[in-house]
Amino acid sequence: MERKGCNEMLCLVTFVLMCFTAMAWSQRPQQGSQVPCFFIFGDSLVDNGNNNRMVTLARANYRPYGIDFPLGTTGRFTNGRTYVDALVNFANTVQEMRRLFRGDNNALSSYLSKCIFYSGMGSNDYLNNYFMPNFYTTSSDYDTKAYAAVLVQDYARQLTQLYGLGARKVIVTAVGPIGCIPYQLARYHGNSSRCNEKINRAIVLFNSGLRKMVDSFNSGVLQGAKFVYLDSYKSSNDLYLKAASYGFEVIDKGCCGVGRNNGQITCLPLQQPCEDRGKYLFWDAFHPTEEANNVFANASFGSQSYTYPINIQQLASL
């Protein structure tokens, strides 16, 4: 199983590689900062360019990635802003964090307790492991229920360590219906459903475990902390069903890419993407467009339709 990313997550806290200040939540631009900082841990759905310095073939530091982002190509795996970009406007807090790390542990603890920690893990454990039986034995070693349980157990251990480092406000994000992304649609030849429901059923088991984990943490297991479960599976599924009402016309293929559904290969360097990017739900084989990310952020900030037990705005105000 893919556990390297979870271990690196805790190292990132120490080195503050992904520390941003939430100067103004995108849904409340007229207000001042609601939290002093926003730590983001996850995969390519929220990557802001840290991946550029890693030894990997998975890169987005070339055009057309970032074609609609003010700073151009940064390493974000979309045409513009990611989901977490849409939640906040960022400002640099490196100098402040350096001061706090100089032995002033009380100040650091107080500071971190007011921050929001966003964690989105699990997609790659399924996409690039469990459902790749030609490369990994995981699916023969575990059935879907057992695999979900092992992942949640490991996830809970990592979040408990994050709590020990000072995290008190944490958003835990569900895995979306990856059986419906262009990458899977390009490989799927089923007739009964547009999506690969075998994959989605496995994801539902994992997400159910995440929600129970959040309930456990909030019941007093981790005193003084508040965890919020962000149901990106439900929000994504609802967006598929109501795509037209949000102006999306294409929900089954990437705006750029190669092959069936533009999902067999991600965007190639200097490839010409679709012109009407606001009408596409997906940017490439795996990732949403900026417009879709904006819709997700709008739906999760001040509403409890996709957050549990409170919404993100309420979490920020604690």
Catalytic residue list: 44, 284, 287
Instruction: Provide φ and ψ at 282, rounded to 5°.
Output: -110, 140
Determine the residue type at 291: E
Question: What's the rounded Cα separation, in Å, for the pair 109 and 118?
Answer: 18
**CA nearest 164: which of 206, 114, 112?**
112
Q: Residue 217 gets which letter from DSSP?
A: I
Q: For the purposes of burial, counting CB atoms within 10 Å of the CB of 219, is it exposed (0-12), middle (13-18) or buried (19 or more)?
A: exposed
Which helix H or strand E contains 233, and what residues bound it? helix 232-241
- DSSP label of 63: T
Query: How many C-alpha atoms does 253 have within 13 Å on its Cβ side?
Result: 12
Contact criterion met (CB below 8 Å) for 304 and 229: no
d(CA 216, CA 226): 11
Residue with tokens 């350096």: 98
Residue 269 tokens read as 């360097």
Q: Where do we find the tokens 């019941």?
A: 219
Contact 318, 169 (CB under 8 A): yes
Closest CA to 265 of 198, 194, 196, 187: 187
Residue bearing tokens 């271990």: 7
What amino acid occupies position 79? N
